[in-house]
Amino acid sequence: MTSLWHGFAEMGAVDGHEFVVDRGEGCDVWDESGRRYLDATASLWYANVGYGRREIAEAAAAQLEKLHAYHIFGDFATRPVLELADRLAQIAPVAGSKVFLTSGGSDSVDTAAKLARRYFHELGQPERTVILTRSWAYHGMHAYGTALAGIGANRDALGELIPDVAVVAWDSAEELEEAIDRIGSERIAAFFCEPVVGAGGVRFPPDGYLGRVREIVRDAGALFVSDEVITGFGRTGKWFASGRFGLDPDLLTFAKGITSGYVPLGGVLAAPHVAEPFWRRGVTWRHGYTYSGHTTACAAGLANLAIMVREGLDTRARSLEGPLADALAPLLDHPLVSEVRTGVGLLAAVQLDPARVDADASLPLRAAAACRDAGGTITRALAGGGLQISPALVITEDQLGELASGLRAGLDAVA
C-alpha cells in the first residue's frame, strides 16, 4: 500500500507496484536493486544535459546556503534571476524579448493565455478572447492548459473549464483559416502551437505547415504562441524550435530543459511589441507566482545553460537526428509497429499498430513496461499509442543502438 497518489496513473494497479528510481548518470538511471536502464525519455522530456551533473548540484547548493530564495514581485530581484533573464533574452528567437518566469510548463501556458487576453485589453480590443489550439496538443494540466488540450481524454468528465477555446486539426492550415473566418478574426486572441507535438505522440509538422499557420495568425492580428516546453533548450538542435522553423513567435512558453529538471522552473518569452503595453507607466499586471524566478532554480538554470554551451548541447540534437532515425528504422519490420516517426532533433515515436491498440487498449502501457523490464530501456506510452523517444542530449550513437535493441526486446516480449 502506498500513500502517494501518482499522476496519470491507474492507482488500483500501481498501488504497491511502484518502480523506484534511485540514481542517474548521463543517459542512464538505476533502480533500487541496482539494475541499470537506458532512459529513452530523459524522464518527462526534461533531463537535457543528462543525470548526475555535479556542477548544477554545486551551483544550487551554493545558492541555497547564501539565499535559498527571494520573491520578485514589485521591484524585488535577486542576482541569479536578473542574470538568467538577460541570458534568456540573448538566446530568445525574437530579439529584445522580455522574460516572465514561472514554476513550470502549466504555469507558463496559463500565463501566456492570460497575457494574450490582457494584451488585447490594453490595446483596446477586449473582444479578442478566443484561443485556438490543435488536436493532439498538450499544454499542461492547469485549467487553461486542460481547456486547450487537443488530447480529448485530458478534457473528459470535467465540464467546460474555460469558454472561448476552439480546437482545429493539428496538421491543417486550412482548418485554422476556416475557424478564424467562422469565429471572426476580431475575436481571436491567440493560437497555441507546439512546433513539434510532444505528449500527443511526437508528430512533426507537415512541410510548409508552420510557415503557413504563422502567416494566417499574423493576418488575423492575433498572437502566435509557440509552446516550447518540450522543444526548447536544444531538443530540436537549436535553442528553440521557433528558431529552427523561423516562427518569430509573439509569445514562447518554456520549462523543463531550462534547468534540465534539476529544479522546477518555467517561463514565457514575450516579443517586445507584446511586452510594450505592460511596461507603460501606470500599468500593473496583477499576475505572478510565489516561486516565479525562484533564486536557486535560476542559479541551477544558469549552470545548466553554461554546460549546454560548453558541450555544444544546444546544437547536438541536430547532428544526432540522422543516427536516431537510422537506429530506430529497423523497428518498422516489427509486427507491433506501424510507423517510426523521426526527423527533427532528438525526438521520435515508435507507433504501435493502431488496429492492435484499438483491439487492446492496454497494449501501449504493457509494451512500455516490457521495454523497461525485458529490454532495459525506459520509454513511455504517449496519447495515440506511440512510444516516447527523447533521450538526454548527451546520448552517443552506440547508446542509440542500445536504445533500439531495448525497445525491440520489449516489443518481442509482448508480441
Ligand X SMILES: Cc1ncc(COP(=O)(O)O)c(C=O)c1O
CB atoms within 10 A of CB 184: 12
Q: CA separation (Å) from 25 to 309, 380, 397?
A: 20, 20, 17
Give 316's Cβ-side CA count (13 Å radius).
Answer: 18
User: Does the footprint of ligand X cover residue 201 (CB under 6 A)?
Assistant: no
CA 127 to chain centroid:
30
In the bound complex, what is the minimum distance in angstroms from residue 294's beta carbon to ligand X?
14
Using CB under 6 A, pick the residue from 230, 327, 400, 407 that binds ligand X. 230
Using CB under 6 A, pick the residue from 120, 138, 245, 291 that binds ligand X. 138
Binding mask 312-331 for ligand X (x = CB under 6 A): --------------------
Q: Enter the C-alpha cell of residue 13.
A: 494497479
* Minimum CB distance to ligand X smaller for 42 or for 271: 42
In the bound complex, what is the minimum distance in angstroms from residue 45's beta carbon to ligand X?
6
User: Does the footprint of ligand X cover residue 109 (CB under 6 A)?
Assistant: yes
Q: CA separation (Å) from 76 to 36, 81, 302?
A: 45, 10, 19
In the bound complex, what is the minimum distance in angstroms from residue 374's beta carbon to ligand X?
27
Going by their DSSP bridges, the two strands 377-378 and 36-39 should be labelled as parallel
User: Does the footprint of ligand X cover residue 194 (CB under 6 A)?
Assistant: yes
Q: Is 237 left (phi over 0), alpha (psi -120 to 50) or beta?
A: left
Query: Of 21-29, 226-234, 352-360, 389-397, which segment contacts ligand X by CB under 6 A?
Result: 226-234
User: Does the footprint of ligand X cover residue 199 (CB under 6 A)?
Assistant: yes
In the bound complex, what is the minimum distance in angstroms from residue 124's beta carbon to ligand X?
30
In the bound complex, what is the minimum distance in angstroms from residue 255's beta carbon to ligand X?
5
User: Does the footprint of ligand X cover residue 140 (CB under 6 A)?
Assistant: yes
User: Does the footprint of ligand X cover residue 205 (CB under 6 A)?
Assistant: no
- Give the position of cell 482545429: 168
* Amino acid present at 107: D
* Minimum CB distance to ligand X smaller for 293 or for 376: 293
Q: Is 333 left (phi over 0), alpha (psi -120 to 50) or beta?
A: alpha
Q: CA separation (Å) from 381 to 28, 88, 202, 278, 368?
A: 19, 32, 11, 41, 6
Binding mask 342-381 for ligand X (x = CB under 6 A): ----------------------------------------
Q: Which residue is nearest to ligand X (CB)?
A: 105
User: Does the footprint of ligand X cover residue 111 (CB under 6 A)?
Assistant: no
Query: Of 137-145, 314-322, 364-372, 390-398, which segment contacts ligand X by CB under 6 A?
Result: 137-145
Lateral strand order in the sheet of 337-341: 337-341, 348-352, 386-389
Using CB under 6 A, pick the residue from 255, 270, 331, 337 that binds ligand X. 255
User: Does the footprint of ligand X cover residue 139 (CB under 6 A)?
Assistant: yes
Q: Which of residues 43-82 bind ligand X (CB under 6 A)?
A: 44
Query: Of 16-24, 132-140, 202-210, 286-294, which segment contacts ligand X by CB under 6 A?
Result: 132-140
Give 381's Cβ-side CA count (13 Å radius).
Answer: 21
Using CB under 6 A, pick the residue from 229, 271, 320, 389 that binds ligand X. 229
Spatial neighbors of 175 by CB under 8 A, at least 6 apart, are 168, 169
Q: Is 43 left (phi over 0), alpha (psi -120 to 50) or beta?
A: left
In whole angstroms, give the CA distance from residue 352 to residue 68: 45
**Site residues for ligand X per CB under 6 A:** 44, 104-106, 109, 138-140, 194, 198-199, 227, 229-230, 255
